[in-house]
């Protein structure tokens, strides 16, 4: 399966406006944002766990990156409330579940194969800092290595934020809204920009809080080996 698979083009999905699709596991539904491959896929997805649902135990051959959007995500290592950022590197294993139910933003098979860094951050307990590139913007670093930079940013109301997507960039709206290229992005809207793209976003009266990943599209993504 290929969805938004041309990484040299801008892509946008307003996930709150598209239907949930069933996964192979009862009680787990998803909204696909981009995908290369079938059930084993390089994928970016919003996933919803019904209360009491779970996936079977599995190994992440290509790694898994998670941002918990609501509810509580769970596995053998603990409970992860809304706002949790988790990186499960290649070769890691777990049994994902949610007793109360949850919604997560998840990226699969997008790690450096040699990456073994486990990350677990409760962003509710982390401070924002002034972003040097724009007055009034704030940033919370989540992960950075030679390949990618992952962060939360807060943009104030009524501002213009210049975007330089060196290495490519993805933006997921968590709160608030903005416009880019004449298109309005609201909570759960996702924007992907190709390597070297330049644009600007304009926030509205509610400002915006966004998740950003940058640098990981400097080389053309490939589907995992089946």
Q: How many domains does the chain have?
A: 2
91 with 21, same domain: the answer is yes
CATH classification of the domain holding 20? 2.60.120.10
Domain boundary among 60, 95, 122: 122
82 with 143, same domain: the answer is no
> Which residues have a Cβ under 8 Å from the Cβ of 152 and sit 6 or more positions away?
123, 128, 139, 140, 142, 174, 209, 210, 211, 212
50 with 85, same domain: the answer is yes
User: What confidence tens digit (pLDDT) does each residue in 125-168 have?
Assistant: 999 999 876 768 999 999 999 999 999 999 999 999 999 999 99
The answer on pLDDT for 226 being more than 90 is no
Radius of gyration of the chain (CA): 17
Binned at pLDDT 50, 70 and 90, residue 72 comes out as very high
Of residues 131 and 121, which shows the higher confidence score? 121
Binned at pLDDT 50, 70 and 90, residue 89 comes out as very high
User: What confidence tens digit (pLDDT) does each residue in 160-192 have?
Assistant: 999 999 999 999 999 999 999 999 999 999 999
63 with 156, same domain: the answer is no
Own/partner long-range contacts of 215-219 (Cβ < 8 Å, ≥24 apart): 215/147, 215/148, 215/149, 215/166, 215/167, 215/168, 216/110, 216/147, 216/148, 216/167, 216/168, 217/7, 217/167, 217/168, 217/169, 217/192, 218/147, 218/167, 218/168
Q: Which domain holds residue 73?
A: 2-122
83 with 164, same domain: the answer is no
pTM score: 0.96
Computed over every residue of the chain, the mean pLDDT equals: 95
pLDDT, position 40: 85
Mean pLDDT of 76-99: 96
157: its two tokens: 């109301």
Give the C-alpha separation, 124 to 166, whole Å.
Answer: 28
130 with 118, same domain: the answer is no
52 with 160, same domain: the answer is no
225 in a domain, yes or no? Answer: no
Domain boundary among 105, 122, 139: 122
């Amino acid at each position: 399966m290929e969805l938004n698979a041309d990484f040299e083009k801008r892509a946008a999905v307003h996930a709150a406006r598209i239907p949930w699709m069933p996964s192979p596991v009862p009680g787990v539904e998803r909204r696909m944002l981009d995908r290369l491959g079938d059930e084993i896929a390089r994928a970016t997805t919003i996933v919803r766990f019904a209360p009491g649902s779970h996936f079977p135990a599995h190994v992440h051959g290509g790694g898994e990156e998670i941002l918990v959007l609501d509810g509580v995500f769970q596995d053998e290592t603990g409970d992860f409330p809304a706002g949790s950022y988790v990186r499960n590197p290649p070769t890691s294993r777990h049994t994902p579940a949610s007793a109360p139910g949850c919604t997560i933003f998840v990226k699969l098979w997008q790690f450096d194969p040699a990456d073994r860094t486990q990350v677990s951050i409760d962003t509710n307990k982390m401070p924002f800092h002034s972003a040097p590139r724009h007055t009034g913007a704030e940033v919370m670093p989540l992960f950075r290595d030679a390949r990618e930079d992952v962060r939360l940013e807060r943009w104030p109301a009524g501002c213009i934020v210049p975007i330089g997507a060196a290495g490519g960039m993805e933006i997921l709206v968590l709160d608030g809204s903005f416009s880019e290229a004449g298109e309005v992005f609201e909570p759960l809207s996702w924007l992907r920009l190709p390597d070297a793209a330049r644009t600007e976003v304009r926030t509205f009266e509610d400002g915006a809080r966004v998740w950003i990943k940058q640098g990981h599209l400097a080389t053309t993504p490939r589907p995992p080996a089946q």
